[in-house]
Every structure is written in C-alpha cells, then in structure tokens.
Chains A and B, each alone.
Chain A
C-alpha cells in the first residue's frame, strides 16, 4: 500500500514539475514580444532598430552615447508631450467609456426583453443583428462617410461613438441575450409575485445574478472600441484622434528620427491599461465565461 502511494506521489511530483516547466516556458514565449517592446521603448531608435547587432537593443550602446544613460524616456516624452498623445488618451477614454456604457445599457435591456419575449419576431431581430455583425466594419464606414460629410458631423467623437455602438450592439445583444436565457424565468417571476414590477425584478434580482455576464460583455465592448482602427481612423479629425490611429500616424510619417520610438512608447502606454483591466476583472470574466450554471 505504501509502495503504490509512493509511486503515485513520485509520479504526481514529476507531473507537477513537467507542467510547471511547460507553463513557465509558455509564459516566457507568450510574454516575450511585449516585454521586448517595453524594454525597447526606453532606448533610442538606433538601438532598438539596430542594423548592426540586435544585442544593441539589450545593452543600449547608442542610447548611452546619445543621452548619457542606458535608459531614456525620450520616446515617451516625444509621444505624450511633443506630439500630444495625451489628447488621444483622453479621446480614447471618452470613446470607450461611452461605447461601453451605451452598448451595455441597450444590450442588457434589449437582451432581457428578447430573452423573455415569447414573440417570434424576437428571433428575427436577433438574426438581423447577426447579419449586421457579420458585415466587415469598413463597408459600414465607407457607406457612412459621404452622408457624414454632408451632415457636417464628420470628425466628432460623438459620431464615431454612434458608429461603434452600432457595430458593437449586435454582439452585445447576442451575448447578453444568451446570458439572460441561462437565468431561469422563475427567478423574475418569483420576484414579480413577491411584489416587484418587471423593471424592479430586472434590477434587483436578475442583474445581480447577471453581473459577471455584464462585466464580460462590457469588457468585450470596451476592447472593441479601444482597439478599433477602421472606424476611428476614417471618421475622426486630426484633433479628435484616438490612440490607435494616432499610433499609426506616428509610424506613417518617418521624416524625423525618433518617430518610430514615439510609436513604440505609445504602444506600451496603450497596452499597459489593458493588463490592469483584465487583472482587475479576472474573476468576473472567468465566471462570466463559464456562466449558464446559475442555479437557484
């Protein structure tokens, strides 16, 4: 008996070692591009994009030569201050916040209504939503361009918020709809018999149970708006640009030295908040993705 348990223990120890090693390797491989970029963002261009030796990016030979220190914040200074990246950050914050809030508001109300509606048109609304979701964003945007010019609403943040919400809404609606379907109808009906109006039942009973689903869907909406290029690049004027088109404009004009480094610094600045966000909400996201098991 003790023999077998020793073998079992040895085997489980081996297994644990192997899987730990595997995880560490995987983590390094997965994190490497990002870590490399973070590291490189504190160098000068002739180091990070060195033609002589890639080791320059590690040791920062030219960075020492040009700035007198192995690390420099020049890229960040140039991007944030000289080229007004902070303004793009503010714009992105406004756009993503508005898109997320509007999509979630419409999505929860609409998804709930569709999930609880016994009518057949509910199904067709969802199918129509799916069709719009399947269209490439760029087709929508190119169609919008001319009317937006004519109406004189091109270039404003509000315009691209509306377009992004329109693009995002089908997805939010579907996702929340299926979350709501997984919540037994008995729950809201109990609440209504207990004395709630339909809306109170929704607000006090259904939403608290749905919270992980709302967070997850909200995160996806957030990411869509945050990462969007097609819409924001075409619909926003220079001043109102959000981060992603701004970064792309850093890359696109390589007349001055240092511009690429602005882009690298900006990329790092744009990625960092995402990590924080996912870490902060990880528990809700996991339970949101595995939801459907809401038992009474």
Chain B
C-alpha cells in the first residue's frame, strides 16, 4: 500500500512527445482513471510507472522510494495488460501462481493464495485449463487473478475491458469495483471509455496528446470541464460548443443569443452547454433555427441544429416530434452555460 507520485514525468521519442510533464500525486487506496482518446499517452504513462518504458525526464516515487532506475520486478506493482499477456504454456492455476513462484514466496502458501485469488474472480472451475481454452472474459479474469495474487502495492490496468462484449463489460466492471473495495489497493486504470471512467474512478485524469487536461472527480470533470477539449470529450453526447462574441454578458452567434451571463469578459469566446440541460420551448428561447436532424433514442429524442459550422444537439421529451427544416426554439438559460476562451480553450470563470 502506498501513494504514487509523478513529478513532471516526460517521455519523448526523438522529437515526438509521448507524455508531457505529467505531474500528479495519487493517494493511497485511490482508484485513479486515465482517460483520453487513442494515442494520447495513457499506456505510455502506465508503462513508465511499471518500469517497462524508460523515463526521459522527471521522477516517479512509489511511497518513499524513487523508482526511476528500478527494474519492473523490483517495483512491486502488478499490471493487467490490454491483451492479458497470459502464459499460453501454463494452466490457469500455474498462470496465477507464477508471480508467487518467481518471487520465491514460500511454497506452502501458494495453493491457498491461488485459490483465494481464483475465488475472488470466480475462476475455480477452470484452474486446470490452458488459456487457449478460455473465453475472452475468462482470460480477463485470469489476468486479474494473477495481478491480485501477490498483493502488490499498486495495480495498473490497461484497458482491461476493451476486448469484452458490452454485457460482460458491465459485469466485469462491477467486479473490478468490488475488488478494489475489498483489497483497497491503489489502482491506476486506463480507458478511453468515459462510462468506465465515471463509474469506477475516485479521480479521473483526462489526457490529450500527452498533456494532462484536467484532474478531478467524475462530477468535477462533468460539471466543470477545464477546457473545450474536456468539454467536447466527456458526456454522451459531448457538450455543445458554439463560437461567438461576448459583450457585456450577452453572447451572440448567429442563431444563438444568450443574455445575463455572469462575466465581465468581452470578445471572442466559445459557449458550451449540455444537450440535456437545454429544453425545447414553443417560442422565444435563446436559440431559434431550422431542425437539421432528429434521432429517437428511446428514452428521449435528440434534435440537432446547425449553428455556424457546428452541430448543436438538444434533448427533448421522448414523444416530441419535429420535421426536418421546421423552425424550432430552444431555451439555453445562462445558468447552464460554460464559457471558454476561444483561443486557448481554457475555461472562463468558475
């Protein structure tokens, strides 16, 4: 059990920056999720913590040890790989026991600990099979069991659910959450699925192009995105973003006009709001435009408009119907709006 501290950790390959100045303290027992689009450096960050990738710059601390120069085996971390990395020549039992064996844990404890780990992930019936004879979900659980069997100081999990089907993903997600609750081991979890991030995390780190965009609780990230990238990445659908002009608390952009914004900022800004916060109104409202398309989602209808170059979506009641090109009004009150600097993308105000 230990906290993990990353001090300005940077990874470069030649000129290419994989991870830029990653600076973060991860508390003991915390469940931290790294979230971001493909290629943003999540795996690289994790591999640096595990010691599989050299660090170009910065320091990594596990508890009170600086581990920059330590071999992976000396870091006492266990990792679940995206492709599981099971040993195909060993049975499930031997796979789970392997870390105990190489770490020279006394032999008489092996059986008990393997059984305990296998039980936690409900694998007891498969112990003498080879990985090739298991389904994806079962392999996934073997990888989990192998990670928990030696009770390391931290778990790293790299998109462990990405190869599973939707249903299995939900149940394995619950299992991981429950495991973390039982074991209380510091966990770093990589995903590009925001639902996973939201449901599992104590804190989420949103990354883009190797740079940390925002660190916060899932609610923080959802309610107060730090910049337009986070706003446009989190939520489904993502936040609507409209470029326009701000003058004396009045935002204007063609078909959108929002008044009473609590800000003293003037000039070009980006206005953001969530589809589910806005409402369709019979007349008036801050937006008035012809319907571009309409999708039925089952529990709601999604109406979209073209504003400038962007598509803006608004959620309406499930029995709401509108024709394409029909003129529709929507209320976007100032309270639901987020303002971002249109140059830097950074959030304006609180």
Contacts and interface: CB of A to CB of B under 8 A. Distances in A.
B86 A296 contact: yes
A209 B79 contact: no
- Classify chain B's interface size: 20 to 34
Contacts of A204: 102
Interface in A204-220: 204-205, 208-209
B81 to A, nearest CB: 5
Contact of B78 (A193, A197, A200, A209): A193
B99 interface: yes
Contacts, number: 73
Interface stretch (A18-26, A79-87, A128-136, A183-191): A183-191
A296 B98 CA distance: 15
Nearest to A294: B88
A294 B81 CA distance: 16
B132 A295 contact: yes
B78 A208 contact: no
Given A192-B71, A194-B78, A296-B131, A187 B89 contact: no
B275 interface: no
A233 B17 CA distance: 58
A186 B83 CA distance: 7
B72 interface: yes
A195 interface: yes
B99 A296 contact: no
Contacts of B77: 193
B146 interface: yes
Nearest to A189: B52
A165 B84 CA distance: 38
A192 B88 contact: no
Nearest to B156: A193
B50 interface: yes
A196 interface: yes
> Most B CB atoms within 10 A — which of A184, A190, A197, A208?
A190
B71 A197 contact: yes
Interface residues of A, number: 20
A296 B142 CA distance: 11
B86 to A, nearest CB: 4
B88 A193 contact: no
A192 B52 contact: yes
B289 to A, nearest CB: 50
Given A295-B88, A296-B88, A296-B131, A195 B83 contact: no
Contacts of B81: 186, 189-190
Given A194-B78, A197-B73, A296 B103 contact: no
Contacts of A295: 88, 131-132
Contact of B50 (A187, A193, A195, A196): A193
> Most B CB atoms within 10 A — which of A192, A195, A196, A205?
A195
B260 interface: no
Contacts of A189: 50, 52, 72, 79, 81, 85
A284 to B, nearest CB: 13
Interface in A242-296: 294-296
A193 B102 contact: no
A187 B99 CA distance: 13
A194 B71 contact: no
B73 A190 contact: no
Q: Is the interface of A mostly helix, strand, loop or mixed?
A: helix
A184 B73 CA distance: 19
Given A184-B83, A204-B102, A296-B139, A192 B72 contact: yes
A89 B150 CA distance: 54
B83 A296 contact: yes
B267 to A, nearest CB: 47
B87 interface: yes
A205 B85 CA distance: 11
Contacts of A191: 87, 98, 102
A80 to B, nearest CB: 43
Contacts of B132: 295
A255 to B, nearest CB: 58
Contacts of B50: 189, 193
> Most B CB atoms within 10 A — which of A193, A195, A209, A294?
A193
Contacts of A209: 87-89
B52 A193 contact: yes
Contacts of B83: 184, 186, 296
Interface in A167-198: 184, 186-187, 189-197
Contacts of B72: 189, 192-193
Contact of A200 (B51, B84, B102, B150): B102
A194 B88 contact: no
B243 to A, nearest CB: 42
Interface in B127-186: 131-132, 139, 146, 150
Nearest to B74: A195
B87 to A, nearest CB: 6
29 contacts: A184-B85, A186-B84, A186-B85, A187-B87, A189-B72, A189-B79, A189-B81, A190-B85, A191-B87, A192-B52, A193-B52, A194-B73, A194-B78, A194-B102, A194-B103, A195-B73, A195-B102, A195-B150, A196-B73, A197-B73, A200-B102, A208-B87, A209-B88, A294-B88, A295-B131, A296-B83, A296-B86, A296-B88, A296-B139
Interface of A: 184, 186-187, 189-197, 200, 204-205, 208-209, 294-296
Given A195-B99, A205-B87, 15 more contacts: A184-B85, A186-B81, A186-B85, A187-B87, A189-B52, A189-B72, A191-B102, A193-B52, A193-B78, A194-B78, A196-B73, A197-B71, A197-B73, A209-B87, A296-B139
- 9 closest Cβ pairs, A-B complex: A190-B85, A186-B85, A195-B102, A194-B99, A195-B103, A208-B89, A192-B72, A296-B86, A186-B81
